[in-house]
Amino acid sequence: MELAYARLNRKRYSPQSPGKIKPLMSNKDVSIVIVDDMQFSRVVVQAALKKAGFSNIRVTSCAKDALKTMEEEHADVVLADWVMPEMDGLELTDIIRQRDEELGVYTAVILFTAQEGIEPLVEAFNRGVDDYIVKPPNPHELAARVNASARIAALQNDLLETSQQLEDTVKHLEEMTLTDPLTGVGNRRLLTRQLEYHLLDASARRGGVCFLMLDIDHFKNINDTHGHDVGDEILIGFTRRIRRTVRPTDLVARMGGEEFGVIMHYTRAENFKPSTLDRLLSSINQRPFKTSVGDLKVTASVGVCFYQGEGEQPSVLNLIKCADEKLYEAKANGRNQIAY
């Protein structure tokens, strides 16, 4: 059943009284659910609340009916009897708190009680009850406590909504952040997205996807000897050489640290030439890299896996794993070489 939620309470600055916060929720806007198995108690409480100006009131005789009506419309405040058959007030509170957590909302819960002693009340508050009223309730006290609980619910819901908006914003920014800030090429997120697209396209059109993983040899020694600023200079220069060597349609991405990935897509698998890989390695090794501490000789190891568009399509993770294994094979064989 689709949930329909009451509009959350909002606060604003009143132009008539600068600096003071004016509440937009009046008594008639507060959504209240009364749960009591005693008809007389329900009538008395409802009448007292209506006299205090509350109009959005739903009355139920058991916890199950209360939960059902709350599914149809969210309640700001639930007034429930502590002792009820089938499901008591504390059990109802447990379910409300669970639902609140799942739905990202908050419902204030007030229990009517004839319980005496501190221990039952401590248990009630620990279970998530916000307030309690001793039976029979004083009408003025009842209205005041409902008002206070409605304010608590409104503040909690404002906080939850703000938190959700922040989470959505962060998620959106993460999705939009597809480039590596240092080198300007794509990052791992972009690479995996594009690799998935190219694999699907190659499988459908009998094309080819060549995926390369490149790793700068002994990069840790560069950082340890010359510092991370020089290491960043090497990373930027390394990226430029790759981009100048591969085709404009090939995707270059920094996967993390000194590790890079290149996606080469071919409409026909036979158009791929292994000499392309040799040319890439030669471009990296052709001359030392100019840095702020002088020219530094840098080599790289390359692992390559190629999907020819036939047979079972590999997953993105499997293709990356394949190239990664070939990369470590190249390193194990002495570095500065290609394992295909």
From the list 12, 50, 10, the residue with the least C-alpha distance to 155 is 10
Q: Does 218 or 113 have the greater pLDDT score?
A: 218
Let me know whether 26 and 140 are in one domain: yes
The domain total for the chain is 2
Catalytic residue chosen out of the listed positions 86, 102, 258, 312: 258
Let me know whether 17 and 160 are in one domain: yes
Let me know whether 128 and 23 are in one domain: yes
Helix segments in 177-271, DSSP class H: 188-205, 219-226, 228-245
H or E stretch at 48: helix 39-51
Let me know whether 67 and 196 are in one domain: no
Let me know whether 145 and 219 are in one domain: no
Instruction: Quickly list DSSP for 139-177.
Output: HHHHHHHHHHHHHHHHHHHHHHHHHHHHHHHHHHHHHH-
Let me know whether 34 and 138 are in one domain: yes
141 labelled catalytic: no
pLDDT (tens digit per residue) in 241-289: 999 999 989 999 999 999 999 999 998 878 888 888 989 999 998 899 9
Query: 97 lies in which domain range?
Result: 11-172
pLDDT (tens digit per residue) in 52-90: 999 999 999 999 999 999 999 999 999 999 999 989 999
pLDDT (tens digit per residue) in 109-162: 999 987 667 888 888 899 999 999 988 889 999 999 999 999 999 999 888 888
Does some domain include residue 178? no
Let me know whether 148 and 199 are in one domain: no
From the list 211, 163, 169, 168, the residue with the least C-alpha distance to 188 is 211
**CATH code at 103?**
3.40.50.2300
User: What does the pLDDT read at residue 117?
Assistant: 74
Let me know: does 238 contact 255? Beta carbons within 8 Å.
no
Across residues 17-40, what is the average pLDDT?
Answer: 71
Whole-structure pTM value: 0.53
